[in-house]
Every structure is written in C-alpha cells, then in structure tokens.
Amino acid sequence: MTSAPEAPIAPIVAVDLRRSFRKRSGWRRSGELVEAVRGISFDVPHGAIFGMLGPNGAGKTTTIKMLSTLLVPTSGTARIGGFDITRQELEVREQLGVLFGGDRGLYNQLSGWENLRYFGTLYGLDDAAIKRRGGALLEQVRLTDRASERVESYSRGMKQRLHIAKTLLHDPPVIILDEPTIGLDPAAAIDVRELIASLAPEHTLLLTTHDMHEADVLCREIAIVDRGLIVAQGTPAALKAGAAVDRQVIITLATALDGQQLAVETSLRAVPAISDVRHEFGEDGAPVLTLRCAETTSALDTALAILREASTPVREIRVVEPTLEDAFMHATGREFDDASQAAALNGGAS
C-alpha cells in the first residue's frame, strides 16, 4: 500500500518561542526580568503574506529578531525553510531577506546602484549576478532613473524601496519586513505596500506592523500580538467578524418621512437582520435613519427596498463595520492606543 505523501513543511514555523531579558539601569542590568515574548507559535504557508499586528512594545520585533538569528530564544523552536534557527544559522540566513524599520542599513554617500553592488558582494554574488539581479530589482522598485544618484538625495519612500531591493538581492524565498512603511507619507506608503503585495506568491512574507489598514489590505492571515502573546489569529475578515461590536447602516434621507415615519420604522424593525432603528436629524437638519444590524449587506438591501416603496429618496449611505482595532479590543479588553502607551511607559520590547 502506497503511503500518502507528506505535507510540505511551511517556510516559517515557530513553536512556543520565548525571550526574556533583564532591564538595564545605566550600564548595569537590574534584577527585574522582562518577558518580551511569552510563547508565540504560528506557521506561514508558501506564498502567503502573514502579518503580526500589535502596538509598539508587543514583542513583534523581538520575535522576528529570533527568527532571523539575531537573538537566541530563551526557549522554544523555529524553522525557516526547514532549517533550525539556533542550530543551522548559516542555512537560515541563506533563506532569508530581512528589512528592519528605520533609516539604518544604507550608505547615504553611495549611490543606489553602489549600495546594491556592495551588499551583493556581501551576499557572495559575483559581478555578473549583481549586475543582472540589481538591474532587475532597480526596475522593479522604480529607481532605475535615480540609481546613479547618492542615497542622501533620496526621499524616505525611495530609500525604503531601495531597502526592499537590497533585501531581495540574493533572491531569498522567505522575506521578513519589520514596520516597512513606518514614517512614510501616505503616497510613499501606498507605493511600498503595492511593492510588497507584488512579492507574493513568489516569496513567503512575514510582515510586522502596528498599522491596521496595512495589515488589512496586505495580509492573508494576521496574528494580533499583545504583551508577548498571540491573542487572536485568523484572516482579516474573520478577526473583524468576531469582534463584539455593533454593525450599523446609516442612511441620510433627501426628504423627511413626514406621515410615513411610523410605517417605515415598523417595516424596518420587522426585518430579521435589523435589531434596532433610530430616526434622528443631522447637524444640517436632514433626517437620518440608523439601523443596528447583525449583517449589513442584507439589511441595507431591504432598507432601500422599503424606502423606495415609500417613495423616499436617499441622499447618503454609510456602512459601519467592525475594524481590526475592534478585533484587538475584543481580544485584549483594551484600546490599541492604550496598549502602545502602556508599552512605552513599561519600556517594553517591540
């Protein structure tokens, strides 16, 4: 009897990773033990973008430093491309391209092309490979026209795109990006996100961020991290759906309901998807119907049909759905901003 083929090993596997350290007081370490990462487990399938979403100090950067062999775990195991992060460091580094947030990692007095040539040499690439690979990457990150200019003349967004090109030079199958759009203006952040999205499915990506929108638009799956633990994990849609918050459809009417108000409200309350109906007036005096509902799509469709039947024109529609911030609060019991402030006060590792 032929045995079933074994399932392929995920490119990134972490099992109960932990990292503790003692706080510093000046040049000395105090006796206070800080658990930056308290038992994190996850795996990332081939070609996926996996997000670790959490406030500053949640343990995201500490986790990826362990995965990229820059920190040794206090306990737990992890494998990158099938190689153990503590026993096969060289093999792990060959599998990885890593981008850490911040301005460091490029030489400002060198041109973009000279930076790639320098780092390509460090990766062990020969001149022909650097020229071929570097040229293709400069085109991919849209820096070909500026490649001969010094990096000091680049905008923050251009530097980040060059960072990504440098990260991809040796064509690693696994890419780790730590806060890749931090400090970028909105237009530059959009550019970088589009570039990141284009890297899958040829590469497997682990992305850390505290940007809710970024995690939502880029990641197939998200782990919400708080205080060194994964407190919730799933697709963006599943995480938001699990948040215990009201879903609302807010309809601004073009004219008043007048004598039809009672009939319209009665019909709306009879809709199974609608749990509550409020009739109010906005700041400009326009009538507003606020519908609390379990599911917004069917509630909106039915509400519009009822309003058409009553010959009541609609001026504006707004749908309020749960957000990833709602999912964070549902998982942790506190606001995302409160978690960031608490981490800053406690000197938590990121």
**AA letter at 268:** L
Q: How far apart are CA 255 and CA 107, in angstroms?
A: 63
Helix, strand or coil for residue 173?
coil
Helix, strand or coil for residue 270?
coil
Residues with Cβ within 8 Å of residue 298, at least 6 apart in sequence = 273
Q: Give the number of other CB atoms < 10 A from CB of residue 123.
A: 18
- State the 10-residue block means of pLDDT for the chain, 350 residues long: 62 96 68 87 97 91 95 96 95 93 82 95 92 94 95 93 93 94 90 93 94 94 95 94 86 89 91 92 91 90 93 93 89 73 55
**AA letter at 96:** L
* Structure confidence at residue 345 (pLDDT): 47
Q: Could you identify the residue written with the tokens 């996926």? A: 48
Q: Kind of pairing, strands 274-281 and 287-293?
A: antiparallel
Residues with Cβ within 8 Å of residue 40, at least 6 apart in sequence = 14, 16, 17, 18, 59, 63, 76, 223, 225, 228, 229, 230
* Structure confidence at residue 2 (pLDDT): 53
Domains of the chain: 12-241 (3.40.50.300), 247-320 (3.30.70.100)
* Structure confidence at residue 214 (pLDDT): 94
Strand ordering across the sheet containing 274-281: 274-281, 287-293, 247-253, 314-320
Q: How far apart are CA 127 and CA 116, in angstroms?
A: 11
| CB 158 within 8 Å of CB 191 | no
Q: Taking Cα atoms as reference points, which of 217, 144, 147, 152 lies closest to residue 180?
A: 217
